[in-house]
Amino acid sequence: MSYFGVASRIAPGAVARQAGRRWLVLPRNSGRRMDNRPSPGTVERVPGDHGALTVESWGPVDGPVVYLVHGWGGWHGQLGAFVEPLVADGCRVIGFDAASHGSSAPGEYGPRHSCGPEMLRSLQAVARHYGPAHGVIAHSLGCAVACAAIVGGGLSTRKLALVSPNPDVGELLAWYGRTLRLAPRCRAALVPVIEAISHSSVAEFDWTVLVSTGRLPDALVIHDRLDKEVRYEATRQTVANWPGARLMTTRGLGHHRILRDPDVVAEVAKEMSLRATS
């Protein structure tokens, strides 16, 4: 049995705190570093809560703004394939790296550590600088970040596209506890520990709860049936309970390649199109 498995039976509270800190560690893999940008844009540094955030923009400065929101451990270049068609449509595309991600400064938790609520605060800081959104395109955990910003974080948008959205936080925490082989008492203690660290309740950052509020705009949701990081079925069930959403299902694109697939890019661009705005 793992260290966490044994220790969690002896000292569940202490191990829950250790596991909570480990929860903040950002993953590293090649998919999260993909660069799908068509060309370099204009790079700026915007003040965040604990340091400067890197922002890159394309298109006319007076164009309707579309924000690109990356996922856990990712960076804005992953969503770069959406830039060209949006700029051609007259939009100003704003990509940014959340605190401790990409080339932004470390956030509250130090280098290579962060959490969803901190990513939300980064999006809010960028949106305060560049203004209301015409559209938001988000990937993975960035989907919950975007939805939280829209529901209660002061961000307004007419268009929303969510690619490979993460499941509810409760499911993620259950998976995390199983992976570390935590004892039941330790798993129960983990939720309040993470809430204390992130200064936010788990429910406030749960994508399925955010959808149930009825405060989100109509949305395009795209997910690959063979996604190994995020369950397709969880997305399908959530979309089934969201009257204003439509689901595009792909097969064989996984969790990261989906961001550069021509059909996916075309469908998102169509969703964001100014000509489709009434």
Q: pLDDT tens-digit profile of 27-38?
A: 888 778 999 999
Q: How far is CA 48 from CA 43, 101, 107, in A?
A: 15, 12, 8
Quote the pLDDT of residue 207.
Answer: 81
Question: Count of domains in the chain?
Answer: 1
Amino acid at 237: Q
Q: Flag whether 182 is in a domain.
A: yes
Q: Flag whether 34 is in a domain.
A: no
What is the pTM for the complete model shown?
0.93
Q: What CATH number does residue 260 fall under?
A: 3.40.50.1820
pLDDT in tens, 114-139: 999 999 999 999 999 999 999 999 99
Q: How far apart are CA 114 and CA 230, in angstroms?
A: 19
Q: How far is CA 198 from CA 191, 194, 225, in A?
A: 11, 6, 31
Residue 198 structural domain = 3-26+39-276
pLDDT: is 94 or 14 the higher one? 94
User: Is-contact 252 258, C-beta < 8 A?
Assistant: no
Q: Flag whether 21 is in a domain.
A: yes
- For residue 41, pLDDT over 60 is answered with yes
Give me the sign of the Cα torsion angle 123, 66, 256, 42: negative
Q: Flag whether 31 is in a domain.
A: no
- For residue 186, pLDDT over 70 is answered with yes
Quote the pLDDT of residue 276.
Answer: 58
Rounded mean pLDDT of 10-25?
A: 85
Burial class (CB in 10 A: 0-12, 13-18, 19+), 274: middle
pLDDT in tens, 242-270: 988 999 999 999 999 999 999 999 999 99
Q: Flag whether 19 is in a domain.
A: yes
Q: How far is CA 144 from the centre of its chain?
A: 6
DSSP string, 196-264: HHHTS-TGGG-HHHHHHTT-SPPEEEEEETT-SSS-HHHHHHHHHT-TTEEEEEESS-TTTGGGG-HHH
User: Which are the contacts of 247, defined by CB distance < 8 A and separation ≥ 6?
Assistant: 221, 222, 223, 235, 236, 239
Quote the pLDDT of residue 16.
Answer: 85
- Percent of the chain scored above 70 by pLDDT? 97
Q: Flag whether 170 is in a domain.
A: yes
Cβ of 57: how many Cβ atoms within 10 Å?
21
Q: How far is CA 75 from the centre of its chain?
A: 10
- For residue 109, pLDDT over 50 is answered with yes
Q: Flag whether 208 is in a domain.
A: yes
- For residue 20, pLDDT over 90 is answered with no
Cβ of 127: how many Cβ atoms within 10 Å?
23
pLDDT in tens, 199-219: 888 888 788 888 888 899 999
Q: Flag whether 196 is in a domain.
A: yes
